[in-house]
Amino acid sequence: MARLLPLVFLAVSLAWPASSKPLPVLVPVTKDPATLLYTIPFHHGADLVVDTAGPLVWSTCQRGHLPAEFPCNSPTCRLANAFHVPGCRARGCGRDRRKDRTCTAYPYNPVTGACAAGDLVHTRFVANTTDGVHPVSQVSVRALAACAPSRLLKSLPRGASGVAGLAGSGLALPAQVASAQNVPNKFLLCLPRGGSSGSTGVAIFGGGPFEVSAQPGRNFTQELVYTPLVAAKKGMPPAHYVSLESIAVENARVPGAGAAVVCTKVPFTLLRPDVYRPFVDAFARALAAQGAQGGPVARPVKPVPPFELCYDTQSLANTRIGYLVPGVTLTLGGGTNWTMNGLSSMVDLRPGTACLAFARMEGVKAGDRSAPAVLVGGFQMENTVLEFDMARKRLGFVRLPFFTQCGHFNFTKIGY
Ligand SMILES: *[C@@H]1O[C@H](CO)[C@@H](O)[C@H](O)[C@H]1NC(C)=O
Ligand SMILES: *[C@@H]1O[C@H](CO)[C@@H](O)[C@H](O)[C@H]1NC(C)=O
Ligand SMILES: *[C@@H]1O[C@H](CO)[C@@H](O)[C@H](O)[C@H]1NC(C)=O
Ligand SMILES: *[C@@H]1O[C@H](CO)[C@@H](O)[C@H](O)[C@H]1NC(C)=O
């Protein structure tokens, strides 16, 4: 017996080489041209809308689905009900007329705010693992989802059957993939710009490395700069919050501080009214100053709502980093700068018209400290590698160089 032991150890160590560390899970991300929302594939050709502030995974379930047997008082059910969107008339857990008091969740639509009661169900989705360069092998990932009636799909992209919540909470997709696949509770998001340069971006659950085919060997997770993720205030959705220390337009500081939220459900960045006004004025002034100093003289044109500053594209200098406009810098907690050039700050809205792609937050009063100062929207995140690291409570980001984009991830599988 004693002589057999070393053999057993040897067999175990051979069967468990260092390379068997679980690989992160890769999911392609596309942009819906009609709603400007981003989706990931789920079941049978149906997609889920990416919501970085969403606490649940939900979809319209098949008829006759079997509810997962979680009692109302289970930790899982409490997690499912940790946040109710304002105005959602949740009746607490369970439907009273049902004796078994099985858990009920209240999924909501991130765009309309509508909610509905639904069962929790066990589901699986198929994806590929990745080494950060290519897909590696197919996996079927266990997850718990809430069911919703199809009316909850209003205002979501055609072909979407629900929402993939990517918040930091326990029933959001990142934490579920982390526990099902034994990878870290973090994810990378690289959103595609879509449109005519239409392309497929990526989400990688479990984190980096991350490479694109135009730059073989360059691991972008090494270039991330970080700012701390801060806890949501009581009653606020479990989104990813960071702190905004100040805003600068072309190195001149404009008033504005508070919380900043990274939010894929808003297509363009929204600023609280007290932050918006001085920011837009500073941008217009700085752009006019460029003209006065011998640069091209930007010619304002009729605004295209919700944007206020729009220009004739013929009057703007176009460079590899987009229109030559004043740089916009968000200085975040820890002094980390998120700097946006013309590729991220200006949007082409119709032929010949480009607008400053920041809008005023509606339904919020100037200086209302209970509202975030900034909701960073999808457009401003595009072609930027973002790392949401819940385990280490930090948000990392780095913009890809102008000659490459999120769509340049190489989806060709390589066999090992
Ligand atoms: C996995 O990768 C292969 C190769 O790119 C692809 O054909 C397949 O659709 C991927 N599977 C999923 C579920 O994304
Ligand atoms: C993607 O990877 C495959 C396999 O390594 C390679 O043959 C192909 O050239 C790559 N594509 C690009 C665009 O680099
Ligand atoms: C990529 O960068 C990350 C962060 O620095 C590092 O942990 C990882 O080992 C790198 N991976 C590769 C394959 O270079
Ligand atoms: C961040 O940006 C501000 C405003 O442009 C600038 O004053 C500051 O030096 C920058 N900080 C770093 C660390 O680059």
CA distance 22 to 137: 11
Omega before residue 306 within 30° of 0, cis: yes
Q: What is the mean pLDDT of the chain?
A: 90
Instruction: Report d(CA 251, CA 239) in Å as an integer.
Output: 29
pTM of the model: 0.92
Ligand 3 and 208: CB distance under 6 A: yes
Same domain membership, residue 47 and residue 146: yes
- Spatial separation of the C-alpha atoms in residues 395 and 256, rounded to whole Å: 20
Q: What angle do CA 143, 226, 402 make, to 5 degrees?
A: 90
pLDDT confidence bin for 196, thresholds 50/70/90 = low
The one-character DSSP state at 6 is H
> Quick check: CB of 196 below 6 Å from ligand 2?
no
Handedness of CA 154, 156, 161, 167 (dihedral sign): negative
Q: Got the DSSP string for 316-381?
A: S-EETTEE----EEEEEGGGEEEEE-HHHHEEEEETTEEEE-EEEPTT--TT-TTS-SEEE-HHHH
Nearest-angstrom CA–CA distance, 82 and 92: 11
174 Cα: distance to centroid of ligand 2 (angstroms)? 28
The reply to whether 289 and 336 lie within a common domain is yes
Which of 131, 204, 411 to mutate to test ligand 1, by most ligand atoms within 8 A of the CB atom? 411
Q: Which of 37-72 are b and which e, b meaning 16 or more Cβ less than 10 Å from the residue's Cβ?
A: bbbbbbbeeebbbbbbbbbbbbbbbeeeeebbebee
Q: Cβ(340)–Cβ(317) under 8 Å?
A: no
CB of 391 sitting under 6 A from ligand 2? no
410 has which bridge partners? Answer: none
Task: Indicate if 173 and 44 belong to the same structural domain.
Answer: yes
Q: Beta strands 310-312 and 384-389: pairing type?
A: unpaired
CA distances 52 to 16, 45, 165, Å, are 35, 22, 6
Residues 204 and 242 placed together within one structural domain of the fold: no
Find out whether 55 and 83 touch, Cβ atoms under 8 Å: yes
pLDDT in tens, 141-193: 999 999 999 999 999 999 999 999 999 999 999 999 999 999 999 999 999 99
The length of the chain is 416
Q: What spacing in Å lies between the alpha carbon of 337 and ligand 4's midpoint?
A: 6
Nearest atom within ligand 3 for CA of residue 222 = 5
Under DSSP, is residue 312 helix (H, G, I), strand (E, B) or coil?
Answer: strand
Q: What is the CATH number of the domain that holds 341?
A: 2.40.70.10
In one letter, which amino acid is 243? S
Strand partners, 82: none
Instruction: Report if residue 184 sits inside a domain.
Output: yes
322-323/318-319 β-pairing:
antiparallel
Residue 7 lies in a domain: no
From the CB of 207, is ligand 3 less than 6 Å away? no
Domain with 43, as residue range(s), is 25-211
Same domain (yes/no): 239, 204: no
User: Residue for token digits 């991300």?
Assistant: 29
Best probe residue, ligand 2, of 211, 213, 404, 405 (max atoms within 8 Å of C-beta) = 213
Lookup: tokens for 94: 């369970």
Would 66 be classed as within a structural domain? yes
Is 413's C-beta closer than 6 angstroms to any atom of ligand 1?
A: yes
Taking Cα atoms as reference points, which of 324, 307, 326 lies closest to residue 316?
324
Task: Return phi, psi of residue 223, to 5°.
Answer: -100, 5
Given 211, 238, 269, which residue is the final one in a domain? 211
Answer whether residue 17 shows pLDDT above 50.
no
Task: Using the 3D structure, point to which of 187, 211, 235 is the last residue of a domain.
Answer: 211
405 in any annotated domain = no
Among residues 105, 102, 114, 123, the alpha carbon closest in space to that of 48 is found at: 123
- H/E element holding 80? helix 75-80
Q: Are residues 174 and 157 in the same domain?
A: yes
- DSSP secondary structure of 102-141: B-EE--B-TTT--B--EEEEEEEEEEEEE-SSSEEEEEEE
Q: Nearest ligand to the C-alpha of residue 130? A: 1
Does residue 198 register a pLDDT over 80?
no
Same domain, 225 and 194: no
In a domain, 275, yes or no: yes
Position 226 in a domain: yes
Any idea which residue has 């916009």 for tokens?
Answer: 328
Same domain, 270 and 354: yes
Which tens digit of pLDDT belongs to each residue from 45-90? 789 999 999 999 999 988 778 888 888 888 999 899 888 888 888 7
* Residue 4 falls inside a structural domain: no
- Can you tell me which residue has the tokens 């589901």? 123
Percentage of the chain exceeding pLDDT 90:
75
Residue 35 in contact with ligand 2 by CB distance below 6 A: no
Assess whether 302 and 340 both reside in one domain.
yes
Instruction: Kindly state whether residues 108 and 244 are assigned to the same domain.
Output: no
Whether 106 and 173 share a structural domain: yes
Task: Tell me how many domains the chain contains.
Answer: 2
Per-residue pLDDT tens digits for 315-338: 999 999 999 999 999 999 999 999
Of 14-23, 28-37, 143-152, 202-211, least confident by mean pLDDT is 14-23
Task: Kindly state whether residues 36 and 183 are assigned to the same domain.
Answer: yes
Please report which helix (H) or strand (E) contains residue 278, including its range.
helix 273-292
Last residue of a domain, one of 211, 238, 257: 211
Mean pLDDT in residue range 262-285: 97
User: Which residue, among 171, 53, 160, 155, has the nearest Cα to 105 in the 3D structure?
Assistant: 171
Query: Is 362 inside a domain boundary?
Result: yes
- Going from the Cα of 201 to the center of ligand 4, the distance in angstroms, rounded, reads 29
